[in-house]
Structures are given as C-alpha cells and as structure tokens.
Amino acid sequence: MPVVDLNHVSVSVRDFEESLDFYVGFLGLQRIPNPNMGVRLEWLRAGERQVHLFPECERAPERHHLAFEIDDFEERFVAARERGCLVEVPGFAAANVLPDGTGQMYLRDPAGNLVELTQRDVTDVDRERVPLRELAETFPQDADNLRSTLFLAPAGANPRTP
C-alpha cells in the first residue's frame, strides 16, 4: 500500500527554550499538546504537518534537513542574517534560486539541524537585500533538471488531491 501523506518529522534539540524560540518565535510554528512519553517533548504545528522536538541523542547530520514553505522570503532572510543562523551548504549559497523560480535559503537551528526555507516565486525579492544565486550558475541544468520543482501541487491547491 502507498503512503497516504507525510505526518511529522522529529528533530533533536540541545536546549528546548532556544529551540522553541527558533521554531515558534522565529519560524512561527505553533505549540500543540503532546502526550507524556517519559521525556520532555514539544509538538509543533507547521501548516497541516507537525515537527516534534525531542532531547538530543546524536549530533545533527550536516546535510539532512527539513524544509518549510514561507511567503516572506526577503524579510525572513534579513531576520535570519541578523539572528546569525544563515549557512552555506557546500555547493550552495545561503540563498538560491532553483530552475522553476523557487527561492531557498539554509539555516541552522540552535541544535545544529539544517533547516531550509522555500518560497514558490522570488521574482520580486530585492537582490540588493538578498544575494540570491541561480543554481544554474553553480551546476549545469539539463532539460529534465529544468522541469524540476519542490511543489507537487499548484499554489492554493489541496495537497491531498493528486
């Protein structure tokens, strides 16, 4: 049987208060009730999905990441730069434009987890404030690459409808 949908992702945290400041205060996720599982957990709402924070058991992998769709790329980039959490992943700038016009930026949360923020169209982003790099400037793109997209459903569509 195929998977119906993605429900949640879990990330480890070193300091719950710092991580809550990042995920709730900066990214805008919402705290929701979670069951008692014998250790401190925090469940957060991210649209129709959840992010679960749990005590760190291992160091965060360098490239494994979770990604959130946003609609305020320029403002979020400036705020992330001021917060000091923007990072360059090897081969990528802190802010990139994919072949379909999607913008992406990379951050590290307080525990070192890699977080990607994406926006469907960054045409109107002020490139003086946000130094976007076209992915094609770094990596050659063939015809198949040029048809790629992070978004399987059109903007505003029900993501559960194929």
Per-residue tens of pLDDT for the chain, all 162 residues: 788 888 999 999 999 999 999 999 999 999 999 999 999 999 999 999 999 999 987 788 888 899 999 999 999 999 999 999 999 988 788 999 999 999 999 999 999 999 999 999 999 999 999 999 999 898 999 999 999 999 888 777 665 555
Q: Locate 48 and state its tokens.
A: 């129709």
Contact call for residues 60 and 107 (beta carbons, < 8 A): no
The domain ranges of the chain are 8-146
CATH number of 8-146: 3.10.180.10
Claim: this prediction has a pTM higher than 0.85: yes
